Amino acid sequence: MRIRGAIRARDLGMHAADAVLRVHGYHQTPMDLSWLQRASVRPINRAEYQALGENGILQEDERVELIRGFLVRMSPISAEHEWAVGELFDRLREALRGRAVVRMNSAFDLSDDSQPQPDILVFPKGNYRHRLPSKALFLVEIAVTSFSYDRDVKCALYAEEKVPEYWLVDVKKGVVHLYDRPRKGVYSRHRTFRAADDLSPGAFPDIEISVASILP
């Protein structure tokens, strides 16, 4: 639609998007999205989330996960992240062969409103041909740029759903945070391991993973 009397932005010394709205005394301010924080937003459940993928609404290569009913974009994969995930996956798979299932970047049916994709998921042996794992022995997130999210959001989520043990690898600081003993929605114990230390999962205390071996 052509607007009569349109004003050129450079004539008024203002941004173009603002200028075209200042026609015949009309002015529209930019949209204020803060109302979303106060609105009653309708979350989706896990079945609805899966239907989005099955019906092609979410593409297979879209990196999103379902967290408490909301679709959350996952961080881009860096070389450091990919290397650390691969190294830890290889070591855990070899150490736990025949004792547990170890998967990398696998969807996890954590609850009715959450289906995260932890970097490494360790879960009991069983028949998973037609179902996703819904119980974890422990899981791992590797953080290069996502440390705050993995600590504040993912850690709380896993504790609330009683995941027994959570490893958070902080690549930038070269440490691993180990959270365990979930009680009343929080982990009651938090330990920090540095490059010179070894890690042993609570479910498999006989195996040891060198922190230095999984840090790029």
Name the domain count of the chain. 2
pLDDT at 13 > cutoff 60? no
pLDDT at 19 > cutoff 50? no
Residues 138 and 204 both lie in one domain: yes
Query: Token pair for residue 61?
Result: 């290569």
Beta bridge partners of 142: 169
**100 within a domain of the structure (yes/no):** yes
Rounded Cα distance, 173 and 116, in Å: 24
Residues 87 and 182 both lie in one domain: yes
Residues 79 and 26 both lie in one domain: no
Q: Say if CB 141 and CB 169 are below 8 A apart.
A: yes
Residues 88 and 170 both lie in one domain: yes
Residues 131 and 200 both lie in one domain: yes
pLDDT at 125 > cutoff 80? yes
Q: What is the CATH number of the domain that holds 121?
A: 3.90.1570.10
**63 within a domain of the structure (yes/no):** no
pLDDT band at 116 (very low <50, low <70, confident <90, very high): very high
Residues 15 and 83 both lie in one domain: no
Note down the domain range covering 82. Answer: 75-214
Residues 22 and 118 both lie in one domain: no
pLDDT band at 54 (very low <50, low <70, confident <90, very high): confident
By percentage, how much of the chain surpasses pLDDT 70? 82
Rounded Cα distance, 195 and 212, in Å: 4
